[in-house]
Structure 1
C-alpha cells in the first residue's frame, strides 16, 4: 500500500505536470492556428497575384501575332548529367504548343558551348535568329562561351569571348565587363544562367515576350495561353533566399556605399 505521504507527493507531481502541460498545449494550439492562418493568407495572396498577372486568353489576343521565346543556358561539358533534363523540357515545350494559338510562335532558345549530336537529333538549328512571324517554332542553338572558359592571354592580355564557331554579331559583349566577370565570378557556376540575358540581346530582341528559366522545368499547357499584362512587365519566380534582417542590412550597406537599392528580394531563377 502507498502511504499518505507518498500519495501526497505523487499528487503534487501530477499537479505540477498538469500545470506544465496545459500552457504547453495552449502554445501549440496558438502556433498551429498561426500557421494555418498564414497558409490561408498566402493562398489567397497567390490567387490575387494570379488574377493580376495570369490573364486568360481573349479572342482578340488569340488572333494577334505574338512571338515568345524560352531562354536557357545549357552547360555542354556536363551533358551526361543535364541531357535528360533538356529532353524533358524539350518534350514539354512540344506538348505545350499543341494548345497554342495558330498565330503564336514560341521558340526554345538554348545558349551552349557546342552544337552536339543530341541537339541535332532534336532538330535544333544553330546560330539563326527569328526573322518573321510566320516561321514555324524552332529550337535554336546559339554558341555561347561561358564565363569560366573566357581565358585571358598572358602575352596579349586579350580575352577569348566566343567559341570557335560563335558569331560576334549575335552578342553584345562588353569586354571590360566580361574580364571583370572572369576575374571575380568564374568559379560561380550559375553566372551564365543570368549573363545570357545581359549579352545575348540580339538573339531575342525580335520577341514580344521572353521567359528565362532553368533546365529542370516543364512547360505546362497553361503557358500556351499566357502573356503578361504588358510588354513592360517583369515577373519572377519566388525563392526563399533572404530574411527581413538580411534585406534591411543589404539596404543599409547599399546606402553606405551610395548604391541604388531596389528592395527586390527572393528573385528566383525564372523570369
Structure 2
C-alpha cells in the first residue's frame, strides 16, 4: 500500500483541465531474464492502464514505457512498439519498449577497460549515460536487484523528455481510474509514496509478542526497498 505524504499537491483540479493537451508517461523497469515471475504482473499493470484510459480526457495521452533487455514475444503480444519516442500530442496512447542494458550485465573488458553500455548500437541515442558513473555503479551496486528500477530515471531522459508528467512505478501495481484525471497542481513537484507495510496496532502487538517470548524487539517499522 502507498500513501501520499502530503495533500499539498492533491487539491481538486480546474474543471477546464480536461480540455488541455497533456502528455504523461508511466515508466517501469522489466527484468526480461525473470519473465516467468514478472510477466503476470506486467499484464495486470497493462490491463489497468487500458482501463484507466477509458476515463481519460480525449486530449490527454498517457504512454506506458517499459525498459527491458529483450523485446520478447510476450511483450510484442501486448502491442508495444520498439525504441520509438513520442514526438507529438496527437499520436494515440502507446506502450513503448526501450532496450536497456541492466547494470549487472555491463561487463568491463579486462584488456581495454571499456564497459558495455547498450544492448546494441541502435540504442545509443535513446540514453544519456555517464560512463564513469556507470562503471562506479557496476563495481559497487550491481548485485542490488532493484538498482535498475531507479537507474532508468537517471539514464533514459531522452526517451521521456517530451512528456509533461511522468509516473515512475513498480510492476506489481494497478493504475486506478482516479489517475485518469490526475496531475500535480504544479510542474515543480516530486511526489513520492510512503510504503505502508504495517499498522500501529500490528507494531504494538508484535512488540508484546516479542516480550512474551523473551525476544529482543528492535522497534523498527516500515522497512522496505521502496
Match of 1:12 in 2: none
Return the match for 1:163 from 119, 123, 128: 119
Deviation track 1:68-90 (CA, whole Å, cap 9, x = no partner) reads: 00000000000000000000000
Query: Which of 198, 201, 207 lines up with 2:163 in the alignment?
Result: 207
Report the CA distance shift for 1:130/1:47 in structure 2 as closer, same or farther (over 3 A).
Answer: closer
Aligned in 2, Cα 1:267/1:69: closer, same or farther, shift over 3 Å?
Answer: farther
CA distance in 2, matches of 1:111, 1:47: 25
Structure 1 residues 120 and 47: alpha-carbon distance in aligned structure 2, compared to 1, 3 A threshold? closer
Q: Which residue of 2 aligns with 1:133?
A: 89
Secondary structure of the corresponding residue to residue 98 of structure 2: strand
For the structure 1 residues 99 and 68, does the alpha-carbon distance in structure 2 shift closer, same or farther, using more than 3 Å as the test?
same
Structure 2 equivalent of residue 144 of structure 1:
100
What SS class does the counterpart of residue 93 from structure 1 fall into? helix
- Seen in structure 2, the aligned counterparts of structure 1 residues 229 and 149 have a Cα distance that, compared at 3 Å, is same
Counterpart contact for 2:4–2:194, Cα < 8 Å: no
1:194 aligns with 2:126: no
- Structure with the bigger RCO (C-alpha within 8 Å, sep 6+) is 2
> Which residue, 138, 144, 151 being the options, matches 1:182?
138
Q: Which residue of 2 aligns with 1:68?
A: 24
Larger Rg: 1
CA root-mean-square deviation = 2.1
Checking the alignment, whether the CA contact within 8 Å between 1:89 and 1:215 is kept in structure 2 is yes
Question: Any idea what the Cα deviations from partners look like across 1:194-227, whole Å, max 9, x if unmatched?
Answer: 0000000000000000000000000000000000
Gap runs ≥5 in structure 2: 198-222
Find the aligned partners of 1:47 and 1:163 in 2 and give their Cα distance: 36
Where structure 1 has 5 or more consecutive residues not aligned to the other structure, the ranges are 1-45, 242-265
Instruction: Tell me the TM-score normalised to structure 2 length.
Output: 0.84
Q: Does 2:50 match 1:99?
A: no
User: How far apart in 2 are the matches of 1:188 and 1:48?
Assistant: 26
Q: Aligned partners of 2:190, 2:94: CA distance in 1, in Å?
A: 24
State the partner residue of 1:257. Answer: none
Which residue of the partner structure matches residue 256 of structure 1?
Answer: none
Contact 2:71 2:82 in 1 (8 A): yes
Q: Residue 218 of structure 1 corresponds to which residue in structure 2? A: 174
CA pair 240-59 structure 1, distance change in 2 beyond 3 A: closer
- Larger fraction in strand: 2
Moved over 3 A (4+): 46-50, 266-269
- Corresponding residue for 1:8? none
Bigger shift: residues 207-216 or 156-165:
156-165
Q: TM-score, normalised by structure 1?
A: 0.70
| Corresponding residue of 1:118 | 74
1:53-64 equivalence runs, <5 A: 53-64=9-20
Give the superposition deviation at 1:231.
1.1
